């Protein structure tokens, strides 16, 4: 049995989980949309995958909308918490997962809803460009980094930039 007291930073002590919702939660969407696209790619050789592919598309879109609304609420109520994440050397790299999710959503929508896919792709592309510039600017600014801050998460913005032309070529 763990009898240690909660830390001063824990959501249970402050009583507010929304303030502590991490931007890293958007990484979940990369997996959901990835599964959606994998099922879609399997459909020609495994026709049974068409139903699960559509179901996963709707689940993934619902998850994106829910997380986006909840995180927007966090940004409105607790802008300092979002500011702190933006200035954290590791968490900063996760902000582009929001726009990468939009680009993957556009890819998944393309075969069924091309007009919606184009709109989502355009918004995601502009957002990805802005976030890439902002993140790289944050990295090369006057901040000092420790060895533990240099993680594979730093590849996330670059991956988003690879997805843009792949999705755009389909549209």
The pLDDT, as a whole number, for residue 7 is 53
DSSP 42-97: HTTT-GGGHHHHHHHHHHHHHHHHHHHHHHHHHHHH-HHHHHHHHTSTTGGGGTHH
| pLDDT over 90 (residue 67) | yes
| Residue bearing the bigger pLDDT, 155 or 58 | 58
Say what the pTM is. 0.83
pLDDT (average), residues 144-160 = 72
| pLDDT over 70 (residue 123) | yes
Mean pLDDT, the chain, integer = 86
List of residues 6+ apart from 45 with CB closer than 8 A: none
pLDDT band for position 90 (cuts 50, 70, 90): confident
Cα–Cα distance for residue pair 76/15, rounded to 1 Å: 18
pLDDT (average), residues 84-95 = 88
The pLDDT, as a whole number, for residue 83 is 94
**Of 112, 78, 99, 79, nearest in space to 157 by CA:** 99
| pLDDT over 70 (residue 15) | no
The string of pLDDT tens digits covering residues 26-61 is 999 999 999 999 999 999 999 999 999 999 999 999
The pLDDT, as a whole number, for residue 1 is 53
* Superfamily for domain range 22-170: Voltage-dependent anion channel (1.50.10.150)
The pLDDT, as a whole number, for residue 113 is 94
Burial class (CB in 10 A: 0-12, 13-18, 19+), 28: middle
């Amino acid at each position: 049995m763990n009898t240690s007291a909660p830390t001063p930073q824990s959501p249970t002590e402050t009583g507010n989980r929304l303030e502590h919702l991490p931007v890293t939660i958007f990484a979940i969407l990369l997996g959901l949309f990835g599964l959606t696209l994998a099922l879609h790619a399997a459909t020609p050789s495994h026709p049974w995958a068409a139903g699960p592919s559509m179901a996963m598309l709707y689940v993934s879109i619902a998850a994106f909308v829910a997380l986006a609304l909840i995180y927007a609420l966090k940004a409105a109520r607790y802008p300092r918490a979002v500011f702190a994440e933006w200035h954290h050397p590791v968490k900063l790299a996760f902000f582009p997962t929001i726009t990468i999710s939009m680009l993957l959503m556009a890819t998944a929508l393309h075969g069924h809803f091309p007009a919606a896919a184009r709109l989502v792709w355009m918004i995601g592309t502009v957002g990805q460009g802005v976030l890439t510039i902002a993140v790289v600017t944050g990295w090369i600014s006057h901040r000092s980094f420790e060895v533990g801050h240099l993680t594979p998460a730093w590849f996330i913005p670059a991956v988003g930039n690879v997805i843009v032309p792949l999705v755009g070529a389909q549209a």
